[in-house]
Amino acid sequence: MWVSKLRYETVIGLEVHVELKTKAKLWCGCSTQFGTEPNTQVCPVCLGLPGGLPLLNKKAVEFALTTGLALNCVLADHCRFDRKHYFYPDLPKGYQITQFYQPIGREGWLEVEFADGPRRVRIKEIHLEEEAGRTYHLPSGPDGVASSLLDYNRSGIPLLEIVTAPELSSPAEARIFLEELKAVLECLEVSDAKMEEGSFRCDANLSVRRPGEKLGKRVELKNLNSFRAIEAGLVYEEKRQRELLAQGEPLPYEEVRTWDEEKGITVYMREKEQAADYRYFPEPEIPPFAIAGEWVETLRTNLPELPLEKRRRYREEYRLSATDAALLSRRKAEANFFEATLQKYQGSAQTVANWILGELTRLMKEEKAEVTNLQFSAEDFAALLQLQDQKVISSKIAKAVLEEMFRTGTKPAVIIEERGWQQITDPNIIKTLVRETVVANPAAVQDYLGGKQKAFAFFAGDVMRKSKGRVNPELLNEILQAELERHRSVGNSGYQSDRQ
């Protein structure tokens, strides 16, 4: 049938580069801090000067092992490094130290919740290597000469490459996988994993085929600098390859293409290189060493709860909606704040979730604040919700109290006391307020009795306005209704004095 011929499958595999969050670089003591003056964090080792000798940073290996455990990898029992040769000015040694013959982890998987349900995406390998420096290409000047600037601050920062098996089936799946992986890395605290700072980067491989056929030739996409770019680049490339295949011209050879963000197209860069082109051989200056089993076991024991487990727990244990569970568990600090609040709070988890994702998030966005540097504690936050539940304050006032806590760090009870914001729950006071407005607006009473619900809202609004929102809304409704109905029974003839 002609229809089925057009049904192509897309196959995507990702190579993710993650800068590990060590204080010092991989082979020297230079700082890894981001965003400093160019070439201020360099030494003979990371500049590749003759005679510089690498000394391995143990923390980088630890971070790699931790990531390998979280990604369910089979970990190597020995750590060894190899040289990968290529020439580029940002690689001063003329080779990159990487792990070619024995990656630190193999055959792992990461479980991801895709649109059609959860699935394990296999991780082919993870390996440790060093970052290159950074090249800035300048446009040509008046003399027509273009130049490039080199910053070696990044040279030698530990990098973990995470390679997936080719089993993602759409650009959207690639994005979802990457978001999950980023969340895992943040949760492990092994990397800042910030795409905008380049500490989380991805090359994406894509091929298309007819169902049942073997893997097609792939294109490797580079220069994907945001999640949006990754998805857009893959969508473009998927369409391009499907069209080629539909015309009966599959890719002639595997190639590397770059994503042109402005034009929204992928552009040919070069034919894909082969492993032999790099002349790999074992790194002679770093002897292989054994990875102690106890070390790995300690790291395994110390693994935190991973984002997916946390999300599931929030749905199952706290009965949160899938969206709320995902939002709350996405960032560790917010998840911790949520759980710390729950420890002190008697009410429902959903209430806490609503307040964190609603008002608190709104305030944090407005003031560009983080949950880690709030002026008040989770305990204060719980106290605020408790006061609302006990009807000491209305939910409207609770929002005002939160704003004040947010700005000054004052305890909620103190704010309420100082401002006289306690809710009015005394029926006699409410009755007095209700009668005042009813007496003052006889026409509205007639409207109400004539069936206009708006009139009810008018009275309720008037009382709220005069009490600055302090009257307990349920009691107000009850008393107001009784008061207005009383007029029906006394003959629909305007206001009668109260004879009880």
Query: What residues line the site for Zn ion (CB under 5 A)?
Result: 28, 30, 43, 45-46
Residue for token pair 């400093």: 36
What letter does residue 488 receive in the DSSP assignment? H
Q: How many CB atoms lie within 10 A of CB 50?
A: 6
Of 162 and 475, CB closest to ligand ADP: 162
Q: Is 163 in the site for ligand ADP (CB under 6 A)?
A: yes
Residue 171 contact partner, candidates ligand ADP, Zn ion, none, CB within 5 to 8 A by sort of partner:
none
Position among 138, 215, 457, 482 found at the interface with ligand ADP (CB under 6 A)? 215
Q: What are the angstrom distances between the C-alpha of 28 and each of 20, 54, 161, 306, 491?
A: 14, 7, 20, 31, 93
Q: Is 218 in the site for ligand ADP (CB under 6 A)?
A: yes
Position among 48, 166, 304, 473 found at the interface with ligand ADP (CB under 6 A)? 166
Q: What are the angstrom distances between the C-alpha of 309 and each of 13, 183, 299, 313, 326?
A: 24, 12, 18, 6, 11
CB 78 within 8 A of CB 72: no
Residue for token pair 């700005």: 407
For residue 93, the minimal CB distance to Zn ion (Å) is 12
Q: Which residues pair with 112 in a beta bridge?
A: 119
Distance of CA 488 to the CA centre of its chain: 58
Q: How many Å apart are CA 438 and CA 498, to the nearest integer? A: 12
Three-class secondary structure of residue 26 per DSSP = coil
Binding-site string for ligand ADP from residue 11 to residue 50, where x marks contact by CB under 6 A and - marks none: xxxxx-----------------------------------
Residue 30 contact partner, candidates ligand ADP, Zn ion, none, CB within 5 to 8 A by sort of partner:
Zn ion
How far apart are the two ends of the chain, measured CA to CA in Å? 87
The helix or strand, by DSSP H or E, that contains position 448, with its residue range, turns out to be: helix 442-449
Choose the stretch contacting ligand ADP; rule: CB under 6 A; options: 55-63, 201-209, 242-250, 347-355. Answer: 201-209
For residue 113, the minimal CB distance to ligand ADP (Å) is 21
- Cα-flanking dihedrals φ and ψ of residue 392, to 5°? -70, -35
Q: What is the footprint of ligand ADP within residues 313-342 (CB under 6 A)?
A: none
Residue 14 contact partner, candidates ligand ADP, Zn ion, none, CB within 5 to 8 A by sort of partner:
ligand ADP
CB 73 within 8 A of CB 108: yes
Q: Is 164 in the site for ligand ADP (CB under 6 A)?
A: yes
Residue 341 contact partner, candidates Zn ion, ligand ADP, none, CB within 5 to 8 A by sort of partner:
none
Q: Is 364 in the site for ligand ADP (CB under 6 A)?
A: no
For residue 11, the minimal CB distance to ligand ADP (Å) is 4
Choose the stretch contacting ligand ADP; rule: CB under 6 A; options: 41-49, 205-213, 349-357, 384-392. Answer: 205-213
Residues binding ligand ADP: number (CB under 6 A): 15
Q: What are the angstrom distances between the C-alpha of 299 and each of 59, 62, 85?
A: 12, 8, 33
For residue 61, the minimal CB distance to ligand ADP (Å) is 22
- Cα-flanking dihedrals φ and ψ of residue 471, to 5°? -70, 135
Position among 32, 67, 207, 437 found at the interface with ligand ADP (CB under 6 A)? 207
Positions in the binding site for ligand ADP (CB under 6 A): 11-15, 163-166, 205-207, 215-216, 218
